[in-house]
Amino acid sequence: MSRIGKKPVAVPSGLTATIDGQTVKVKGSKGELSFTIPEVCSVEMTDDGIVVQPRDDSKEARSMWGMSRTQVSNLVEGVSSGFSKTLEIQGVGYRAAMRGKDLQLSLGFSHEVVHPIPQGVQVAVSGAKQEIITVSGIDKQLVGQVASEIRGYRPPEPYQGKGVRYQGEYIFRKEGKKK
């Protein structure tokens, strides 16, 4: 049994949640999001909030149950407070800058890396040397995807630790060659 799936998703005041068949739509101060629940699960609105239940006891229904409940919870949290990920750039001469709606990265390549920012995500560059990138938005999946793509241009390497990392990420360091 899914322990997370059993909990109803509370809808705070100020948010409006509507259920149309298998689609859950949540509207709040930051915007509107929707998610379609898989057919093996049922969704209903109760006094406690939004409740997701499996239609039968199959393995697929049980595996989709907790995931669907978490997706609905992310909709509620996204339209009320939003999500954010912070990246740090470490390395001599490595920096970031906003060029219009695109993020321009200097990561030690012979060329500048230009990353287009998709609709629904805001990116801010800060820090004394422009080494901190903050990715924020209301869609948790999209924020994580953009942050992962930016990190993917130059992941941190284990010998000197240079590259783009998540804030607070631990990089396992290796010892270099010995004479």
Whether residue 168 contacts residue 156, with contact meaning beta carbons closer than 8 Å, is answered with no
Query: pLDDT digit string (tens) for 11-31?
Result: 998 899 999 999 999 999 999
Domain count, the chain: 2
Q: Are residues 73 and 117 in the same domain?
A: no
154: domain CATH number? 3.90.930.12
Whether residue 87 contacts residue 76, with contact meaning beta carbons closer than 8 Å, is answered with no
Query: pLDDT digit string (tens) for 53-87?
Result: 999 989 999 889 999 999 999 999 999 999 999 99
Could you tell me if residue 7 is inside a domain?
Answer: no
Q: Which two tokens stand for residue 142?
A: 């999209």
Predicted local distance difference test score (pLDDT) of residue 178: 86
Query: pLDDT digit string (tens) for 122-133?
Result: 999 998 889 999
Q: How far apart are the first and last CA of the chain?
A: 57
Q: Are residues 75 and 94 in the same domain?
A: no
Q: Structural domain of residue 48, as residue ranges?
A: 16-80
Could you tell me if residue 61 is inside a domain?
Answer: yes
Predicted local distance difference test score (pLDDT) of residue 2: 65
Could you tell me if residue 178 is inside a domain?
Answer: no
Q: Which residues contact 51 (CB under 8 A, 6 or more apart)?
A: 8, 9, 43, 44, 45
d(CA 61, CA 56): 7
Q: Are residues 62 and 97 in the same domain?
A: no
